[in-house]
């Protein structure tokens, strides 16, 4: 499995330069645009949007699945950039309330929900192929690792700890899971109230500062409704 991913990544990372690279980038952008518009795509549709002949599509992608993996990779590049820009330890300043962890996480939630809403169809199409498309799986795993490279130092910074804090990696991975959970149609429809957003941010703050060895009790004792 791992070597399968490795080979696929190697293939995807093969250097492509000059005019050929520009054409490929145009085809990837056209694939994303087609999925955004219709939820799916054909090679002919993408070639027409990229203003190339259909044979050019197959000169750059072995299959439709290859084009989908490339479109997903380009989309995930942008997610990782967004994570890096928002969850940057340099953004945190304990002396300023607008730069505490809750404010930074709130801005991150807004930006990520907006991004997922815009790219929802690309995510659905790619994740729908996850089980059957090794290229989609490989790019998904690789981008998770890239996101972790941002999340680990951010979590350590919020916790005020260093590499000796054994909670940092599990907390960063839980934050990775929670962040992906924001790719949810419920959040995209304007039904997403400020109160709901505040609750999600509170949950993320608790998660970032959690001690995995002692799950906290709720703030009030559990009880029955009055």
Q: Which 167-186 positions form the footprint of a second copy (CB under 8 A)?
A: 167, 170-171, 173-174, 176-178, 180-182, 184-186
* Shortest Å, Cβ 61 to a second copy: 19
User: 60: Cβ–Cβ under 8 A, 6 or more apart, which residues?
Assistant: 20, 23, 24, 27, 67
Query: Does residue 146 belong to the site contacting a second copy (CB under 8 A)?
Result: no
Stretch in the footprint of a second copy (CB under 8 A) among 11-19, 56-64, 71-79, 127-135: 127-135
Per-residue x/- marks for a second copy, 94-123, CB under 8 A?
Answer: x-----xxx---x-------------xx--
Task: Indicate the Cα dihedral angle 66, 76, 152, 208, nearest 10°.
Answer: -130
6 binds a second copy (CB under 8 A): no
Query: Considering the rule CB under 8 A, would residue 65 count as an interface residue with a second copy?
Result: no
Binding-site size, a second copy (CB under 8 A): 80
Phi, psi of 192 (to 5 degrees): -80, 95
Nearest to 76 by CA among 138, 14, 24: 138
Given the rule CB under 8 A, which of 11-19, 22-30, 38-46, 80-88 is the region that contacts a second copy? 38-46
If you write DSSP's letter for every residue of 143-192 in order, what string do you get?
HHHHHHHHHHHHHHHHHT--TT-TTHHHHHHHHHHHHHTT--GGGGSS--
* 13 versus 186: smaller Cβ distance to a second copy: 186
Instruction: Give, for 185, the enclosing helix (H) or strand (E).
Output: none
Counting contacts by CB under 8 A, is residue 201 touching a second copy?
Answer: yes
Residue 130 touches a second copy, criterion: CB under 8 A: yes
**Is residue 207 part of the contact set for a second copy (CB under 8 A)?**
yes
- Judged by CB under 8 A, which of 10, 21, 53, 203 binds a second copy? 203
Q: Are 103 and 169 in contact (CB under 8 A)?
A: no
Chain center to CA of 208: 18
Residue 143, CA atoms < 13 Å, CB-side half-sphere: 21
Among 39, 44, 77, 78, binds a second copy (CB under 8 A): 39
């Amino acid at each position: 499995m791992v070597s399968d991913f490795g080979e696929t990544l190697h293939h995807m990372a093969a250097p492509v330069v000059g005019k050929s690279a520009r054409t490929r980038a145009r085809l990837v952008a056209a694939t994303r645009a087609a999925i955004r518009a219709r939820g799916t795509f054909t090679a002919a549709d993408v070639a027409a949007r990229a203003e190339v002949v259909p044979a050019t599509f197959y000169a750059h992608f072995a299959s439709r699945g290859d084009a989908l993996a490339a479109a997903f990779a380009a989309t995930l590049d942008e997610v990782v950039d967004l994570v890096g820009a928002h969850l940057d330890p340099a953004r945190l300043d304990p002396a300023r309330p607008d730069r505490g962890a809750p404010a930074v996480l709130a801005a991150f939630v807004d930006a990520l929900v907006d991004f997922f809403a815009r790219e929802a169809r690309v995510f659905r199409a790619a994740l729908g192929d996850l089980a059957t498309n090794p290229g989609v799986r490989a790019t998904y795993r690789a981008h998770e690792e890239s996101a972790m490279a941002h999340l680990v130092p951010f979590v350590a910074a919020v916790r005020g700890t260093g590499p000796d804090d054994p909670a940092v990696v599990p907390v960063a991975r839980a934050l990775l899971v929670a962040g992906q959970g924001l790719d949810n149609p419920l959040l995209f429809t304007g039904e997403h109230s400020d109160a709901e957003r505040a609750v999600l941010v509170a949950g993320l703050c608790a998660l970032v500062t959690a001690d995995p060895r002692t799950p906290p009790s709720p703030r009030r004792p559990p009880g029955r409704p009055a």
